[in-house]
């Protein structure tokens, strides 16, 4: 009888423990579903959310009369979503043929364990012909997105003062660097939702419009600057000096109307020049005699 009572007591204890365990589980589920819903929902959206970046246009640089000295041209860049690409070997082979890169290099991009892969630098700033060939493939997970490229329509004109930008449109020297925070816009994005395998979910998509950067107007007069550049070229041809510089200023206000030096460089292709050529703005960097305009001060 005692043995029976002991067994019965043990069954009751186990039964109570099981009920207590189920109550704890139910309470925990209720707590998670009700009190932690917003946090979990945010984490889920972070896992599902995918952003295809859209670069903002950089602000335009004008002369004093509103003529463009530095502007933008539209190009496209290649972006991959590896989880959406089914036949990675075929996609890597076709893209490597079009872009002129090795199959191994492209396969590393296509098979990379990441949500979004930017093909850099081979897939940046593609020509119209190349982008059309990629677009004609029609592969899932292969996207072409708009991207702006800095363009200097007058090439060497005012290049040392204007400076130049890098492949991500960031200012690297001159006015482009000095006013980079104003010239740089705010990037946009195409936002959509995808599961862990990269397949798009049937949820609302959104488009964040990129915000262009602020424009910059200089005191420089384009006509005068063109004359300065022409005369600098004539000086280099006639006298073949190591360097030459011209600076034009409004003596009444101190405004710089034009400024140039040689050797110069084409800001569209700055990588073709050595670092001394592109970084030495001689009218600012070098020392020189003030000349006749300073005589009034010198004689006092």
Residue 71 in contact with residue 98, Cβ under 8 Å? no
Length of the chain: 300
Q: Which two three-digit tokens encode residue 89? A: 């070997």
Give dist(CA 69, CA 60) in Å, integer: 8
Backbone angles phi, psi at 48, to 5 degrees: -85, -30
Backbone angles phi, psi at 108, to 5 degrees: -60, -35
Give dist(CA 168, CA 189) in Å, integer: 16
Give dist(CA 164, CA 171) in Å, integer: 6
Give dist(CA 167, CA 125) in Å, integer: 9
Cα dihedral: 47, 170, 182, 189 (round 10): -30
What's the DSSP call for residue 139? -
Q: Which two three-digit tokens encode residue 114? A: 């990441």
β-bridge mates for residue 217, sequence order: 62
Q: Which of the following is catalytic: 115, 173, 261, 292? A: 292
Residue 292 designated active-site: yes
Q: b/e per residue, 93-119, with b = 16+ CB within 10 A?
A: ebbbebbebeeeebbebbeeeeebbeb
Q: Which of the residues are catalytic? A: 292
């Amino acid at each position: 009888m005692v043995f029976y009572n002991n067994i019965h007591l043990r069954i009751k204890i186990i039964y109570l423990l099981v009920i207590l365990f189920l109550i704890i589980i139910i309470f925990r589920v209720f707590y998670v579903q009700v009190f932690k819903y917003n946090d979990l929902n945010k984490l889920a959206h972070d896992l599902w959310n995918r952003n295809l970046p859209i670069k903002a246009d950089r602000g335009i640089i004008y002369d004093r009369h509103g003529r463009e000295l530095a502007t933008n041209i539209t190009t496209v860049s290649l972006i991959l979503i590896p989880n959406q690409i089914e036949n990675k070997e075929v996609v890597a082979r076709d893209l490597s043929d079009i872009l002129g890169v090795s199959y191994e290099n492209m396969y590393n991009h296509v098979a990379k364990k990441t949500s979004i892969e930017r093909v850099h630098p081979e897939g940046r700033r593609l020509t119209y012909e190349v982008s059309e060939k990629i677009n004609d493939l029609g592969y899932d997970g292969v996207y072409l997105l708009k991207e702006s490229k800095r363009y200097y329509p007058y090439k060497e004109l005012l290049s040392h003062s204007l400076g130049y930008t890098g492949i991500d449109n960031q200012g690297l020297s001159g006015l482009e660097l000095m006013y980079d925070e104003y010239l740089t816009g705010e990037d946009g994005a195409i936002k959509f939702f995808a599961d862990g395998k990269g397949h798009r979910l049937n949820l609302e998509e959104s488009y964040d419009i990129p915000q262009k950067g602020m424009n910059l107007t200089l005191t420089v007069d384009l006509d005068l600057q063109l004359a300065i550049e022409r005369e600098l070229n004539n000086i280099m041809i006639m006298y073949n000096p190591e360097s030459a510089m011209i600076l034009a200023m409004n003596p009444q206000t101190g405004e710089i109307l034009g400024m140039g030096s040689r050797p110069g460089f084409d800001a569209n292709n700055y990588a073709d020049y050595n670092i001394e050529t592109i970084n030495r703005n001689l009218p600012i960097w070098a020392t020189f005699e003030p000349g006749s305009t300073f005589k009034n001060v010198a004689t006092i």
